[in-house]
Amino acid sequence: MEDCYMAAVRSETQQKMRSYSFELKYLIAGHTKAYQETFESLVSFTSNLTSTLFDSAYCSGLFSDINRHLSGDSKSSLDTAVRRFYNDLFPLVYRRLLNPGIGHMSLKSHSTPSTNQDDCLRMTRQDVSPFGPHPRLLVSGLSRALGAGRALSRLLRLAGEVVNATEKLTLSRECGRGLVRMHYCSHCRGMTLIRPCTGLCVNIMRGCLVCV
């Protein structure tokens, strides 16, 4: 008899979990899409605005790194992105200071092959510190501005993974015993209309989901 109750309650619980998971997955996916579209639009707008003031391919590279960071990429690093941006920028600024008449720093500068002098300038940039405290301040400012957005992006992704894992979860026999106790113990005393207390339900479901 207990096995019959257990099979019935496990089947019913899994159906309910799949139903609730589908609704939750749809909700999370909608929020994730809306969030991604919003921050991608903002990053694109800021990138375009910056490009009108400073026409350089390195700006697009920096904003691509920012986009990856906001999306929650675990391999992205604002410190590395900003360091690369200023390392690549230094040779352009250096040539501009030596030759003020060459015009603005454009994409053409980026398209020319890298020289040994450029590589040397990149390697010495942090020692020379031609930009003063601004690289460090930029990293600090970006970290504060993007921290919450990156955390939200990673949480939304994690929430989706948890929902997927819950949807495919196979309930253990121990979980089944707990579900039987939660649903049917009162039936043994003829109290079929009595519902289990909230604390019991929470504890049993927590035990069922502990492996997620």
Question: What tens digit of pLDDT does each residue of 79-114 get?
Answer: 999 999 999 888 888 888 887 765 555 544 444 556
Domain that holds residue 136: 2-169
Which tokens go with 143? 């970290």
Same-domain pairing of 149 and 205: no
Which tokens go with 100? 């003020």
Same-domain pairing of 112 and 201: no
Same-domain pairing of 145 and 48: yes
Same-domain pairing of 73 and 111: yes
Alpha carbon distance 115, 96 (integer Å)? 16
Asked whether the beta carbons of 78 and 145 are under 8 A apart, the reply is no
Q: Number of structural domains, the chain?
A: 2
Same-domain pairing of 154 and 206: no
Same-domain pairing of 21 and 102: yes
Lowest average pLDDT, out of 15-24, 70-79, 108-117, goes to 108-117
Same-domain pairing of 128 and 60: yes
Same-domain pairing of 161 and 210: no
Question: What tens digit of pLDDT does each residue of 173-200 get?
Answer: 888 888 888 887 777 777 777 788 888 8
Write the CB contacts of 166 (distance below 8 Å, at least 6 apart in sequence). 17, 21, 209, 212
Whether residue 163 has pLDDT greater than 60: yes
Mean pLDDT taken over the chain: 83
Write the CB contacts of 131 (distance below 8 Å, at least 6 apart in sequence). 86, 90
The residue that leads in pLDDT, 129 or 211, is 129
